[in-house]
């Protein structure tokens, strides 16, 4: 076997061939990915074995979980960016998706959304920079039993929306009575 040498920028001499740690074949250095952390500057396994291992890794269940987690994080980032750009349009689009998913009527256009600068319920200034805080804008169905139909939508604070979301008027009144110690 003839051994060829070449000079790397860090002035060390290395063999032009290398034996793959996986398939044990002796291959030319160009058959290996570069890896600056290795003393000879190359991956220990050849490109073929590396890509084979990567394919197997990607089909492993824990990989899918990790991958989805990363994607969700990215998706969240773009969501808050979209909100900042045009909150009303963003809330309109999100509501449309939600309505489709939950089988709710959706017959509004963006013009049907009543926009306030402050929450009409709590009186707090509405936040246009982030969609994740209590004071963020939130698209509310005024009557929870009805869908997104003209006259039934308004922008209120996220806090107010979360409080009224799952309750009927009667249930809210019962909660108030309870909190006042009437019950
Ligand atoms: Zn190999």
Give CA–CA dist 124/140, Å, rounded: 16
How many Cβ atoms sit within 10 Å of the Cβ of residue 28? 11
The number of domains in the chain is 2
Label residue 15 by pLDDT band (50, 70, 90): low
Q: What is the CATH number of the domain that holds 78?
A: 3.30.40
Q: What is the pLDDT of residues 42-93, one digit of tens each?
A: 899 999 999 999 888 888 888 888 888 887 777 777 888 889 889 999 999 9
3-state secondary structure 1-42: CCCCEEECCCCCEEECEEECCCCCCEEEHHHCCECCCCCCCE
pTM reported for the whole predicted model: 0.57
Give 106 Cα–ligand 1 centroid separation in angstroms: 57
Give 10 Cα–ligand 1 centroid separation in angstroms: 26
Domain ends where: 19, 38, 58? 58
Q: Are residues 100 and 169 in the same domain?
A: yes
Give 134 Cα–ligand 1 centroid separation in angstroms: 55
Give 35 Cα–ligand 1 centroid separation in angstroms: 15
Give 128 Cα–ligand 1 centroid separation in angstroms: 54
Q: Are residues 69 and 91 in the same domain?
A: yes
Q: Are residues 43 and 116 in the same domain?
A: no
Beta strand 137-141 with 153-157 is antiparallel
Give 18 Cα–ligand 1 centroid separation in angstroms: 10
Give 20 Cα–ligand 1 centroid separation in angstroms: 5
Angle at CA 109, nearest 5°, toward 103 and 114? 105
**Residue 159, pLDDT score:** 95
How many Cα atoms within 13 Å fall on the side-chain side of residue 70? 6
Give 13 Cα–ligand 1 centroid separation in angstroms: 23
Label residue 139 by pLDDT band (50, 70, 90): very high
Domain that holds residue 47: 5-58
């Amino acid at each position: 076997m003839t051994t060829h040498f070449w000079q790397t920028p860090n002035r060390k001499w290395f063999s032009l061939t290398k034996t793959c740690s996986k398939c044990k074949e002796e291959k030319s250095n160009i058959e290996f990915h570069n890896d600056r952390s290795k003393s000879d500057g190359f991956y220990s396994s050849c490109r073929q074995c590396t890509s084979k291992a990567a394919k197997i890794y990607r089909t492993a269940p824990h990989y899918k979980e990790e991958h989805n987690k990363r994607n969700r994080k990215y998706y969240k980032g773009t969501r808050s960016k979209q909100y900042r750009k045009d909150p009303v349009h963003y809330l309109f689009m999100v509501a449309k998706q939600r309505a489709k998913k939950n089988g709710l009527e959706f017959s509004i256009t963006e013009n049907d959304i009543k926009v306030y600068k402050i929450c009409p319920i709590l009186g707090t200034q509405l936040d246009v920079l982030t969609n994740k805080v209590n004071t963020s804008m939130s698209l509310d169905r005024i009557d929870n039993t009805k869908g997104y139909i003209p006259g039934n939508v308004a922008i209120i604070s996220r806090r107010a929306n979360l409080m009224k979301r799952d309750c009927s008027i009667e249930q809210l009144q019962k909660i108030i009575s309870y909190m006042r110690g009437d019950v």
